[in-house]
Structure 1
Amino acid sequence: GEIRRSQGRLMETARISLQGDRSNNQDRCAIFNYGQSCLMVLADGLGGHPRGEVAAQIMLNVCEQLFTKTPKPISSPQFFFHHCVAHAHKLINQYGQSQDPVITPRTTVVMALIQDGNCYWSYAGDSRFYLLRDNEIILQSTDHSVPQRNARGEENPANRALTRCVGGQRSAPMPSTEPPFPLQPEDVLLLCSDGLWSQLPQQQLVETLCNVFPLKKALHMLSSSAEKNGQSRSDNISALSIRVDDRNCGMHAVSYAGDSENELLSAIDHLNTLITENIAEG
């Protein structure tokens, strides 16, 4: 966990990403801090398509590049979110087309931008955004998914198909972008992959995030429970969280809290130049 100041307020940040029982971790998540602005990004590569981890990493890289380049405070967060998704979609498809045989990597994304005391948020897929305040969930994203049907046409609520993701289709998806909200002391923001939220009751999310300190401990407790509840079939489990705190406590600024424990794929290294060039052209 880290503590930093944004627009005069202290914010405690925490991050976790577990492989679970999968053969590799296709989740990518990071918190980027530049000046008085903070960007949270979480991407969950789709396991049913090849190289979901590449799609997720491209999404993360594009967000970082555009966030670094864009003057702060960002004048149009909605355009910024759409720009991130459109560029990542283009690069993911280019990467897939360059493979032999051709593949179609895909990823979800959920993003939150904190600036001027407000939070702006956007998403595509079933990675979720939550705002917790006064021991309850005040805001929650709505999954871009539908129940799949069995051979008899019956819906199975536990088996859902995504209706929106980044990569795969010819046209870039339109991410859902919700109205901003002013942050209040003790607000908790949570961005997480379905490996976390699908294995935990909402009440456990609320009670742990609102009452366990520090925030890093809360994420470890939730992730451990989700992994255990997966019963040896656990998905990747990733989460980013921020707690707004006006108390007078020590703080130190962090320029970047990223995915340091995961080695970047060699394919991604070669894409960084391509990303920069595409953003410059855009």
Structure 2
Amino acid sequence: MRWSAVTDTGLVRPNNEDNHRVNEALGLFAVADGMGGHQAGEVASRLALTVLEEQFQELVQQGEETGNALLYAVEAANRQVFEESCRSNRCNGMGTTLSACLIAEEGLILAHVGDSRVYLVRAGEIFQLTEDHSVVQELLNEGRITAEEVPGHPYRNVLSRALGTGEQLEIDLLRVPLQAGDRVLLCTDGLTNMVSDAAIQAVVAGYGDPDQAVRELVRLALEQGGSDNITLILVVL
């Protein structure tokens, strides 16, 4: 297994509210895109990933099944971020997306909240494993808008679900079998709002070196305007 990770503030935002976490020994990879004023988004994303890693490791050491451990760790992260937002006026109302992957012998286990995404690129094809928890995605699912209307929709960046915004949280948990040669990409919407799935597929499949691939994806996002923070992790099996 090889991997590469990168984060970039972009060309418009004054600070970077994205964070990412890699613990290769645990097989844990995660990205988070924070939200909230006065840099509270950065606090939310960083705190969520710290709690996620610590709780997951502790639960696994206690003998918890890995999928349950990942789920419980995300729930713990949600509680911590929510409690911090209630304690601090500066952090009031903060939250974050979270997409976390556990890559193990049994395959990929994925926990997801928000609109950061996880893709699988296999044999030259790209598959979006996550579904965005956004108002626009709900409208699309209900047939009230078309896919062509999504990029310019005024509610495109409004989340319907985010970590840390309430005591209870619905978390998507998926299990996906993996094959040798698979490539798993975790990314925030600073990439996906700027670069099409087809272009992402071409880069991820076309570069043998994950370091080169992530640098090229960031370059493309910046070339298209870089309107948001850009964070991604690419894992090559």
| Shorter-chain TM band | 0.7 to 0.9
Report if the CA contact (8 A) 1:46-1:105 is conserved.
yes
**Any residues of structure 2 matched to 1:1-282 within 5 Å, and which?**
11-20=1-10, 21-34=12-25, 37-47=26-36, 51-71=40-60, 75-100=64-89, 103-147=92-136, 157-158=150-151, 159-160=155-156, 161-169=158-166, 171-178=167-174, 180-230=175-225, 234-244=227-237
- Higher helix fraction: Structure 1 or Structure 2? 2
Runs of 5+ consecutive residues of structure 2 not aligned to the other structure: none
Residue by residue over 1:25-56, the C-alpha shift from the partner in whole angstroms, topping out at 9 and shown as x without a partner, is 0001021122xx40011110025686011110
The secondary structure found in structure 2 opposite 1:16 is strand
Cα RMSD between the aligned structures?
Answer: 2.3
Q: Tell whether the 8 Å contact from 2:108 to 2:178 is kept in structure 1 after alignment.
A: yes
Match of 1:263 in 2: none
Give the Å deviation of 1:128. Answer: 0.2
User: Could you tell me how far apart the structure 2 residues matched to 1:68 and 1:145 are?
Assistant: 30
Q: Which letter does structure 2 place at the counterpart of 1:205?
A: I
What is the rounded CA distance, in whole Å, between the counterparts of 2:62 and 2:83 in structure 1? 31
Q: CA deviation at 1:24?
A: 0.6
- Contact 1:46/1:107 (<8 A) preserved: yes
Greater Rg by CA: 1
Q: Aligned equivalents of 1:102 and 1:29: distance in 2? A: 20
1:67-109 per-position Cα deviation (integer Å, ceiling 9, x unaligned):
3213369753442232122211221122122223661110000
SS in 1 for 2:35: coil
TM-score (norm 2): 0.86
Deviations 1:142-190 (A, max 9, x none): 10112299xxxx9662332211101122x32111111x22321110000
Q: Name the structure with the higher strand share.
A: 1
Q: TM-score, normalised by structure 1?
A: 0.73
User: Take 1:15 and 1:101, find their aligned partners in 2: how far apart are those partners?
Assistant: 30
Inter-partner Cα distance in structure 1 for 2:61 and 2:17? 30
Identity of aligned residues (%): 28
What is the identity, as a one-letter code, of the residue corresponding to 1:134? A
Partner of 1:248: none
Cα distance 1:47–1:228, how it changes in 2: closer, same or farther (>3 A)? farther
Contact in 1 for aligned 2:17/2:39 (Cα 8 Å)? no
* CA shift in 2, pair 1:185/1:59, >3 Å: same
Deviations 1:244-267 (A, max 9, x none): 1xxxxxxxxxxxxxxxxxxxxxxx
Question: Aligned with 1:163: secondary structure?
Answer: coil
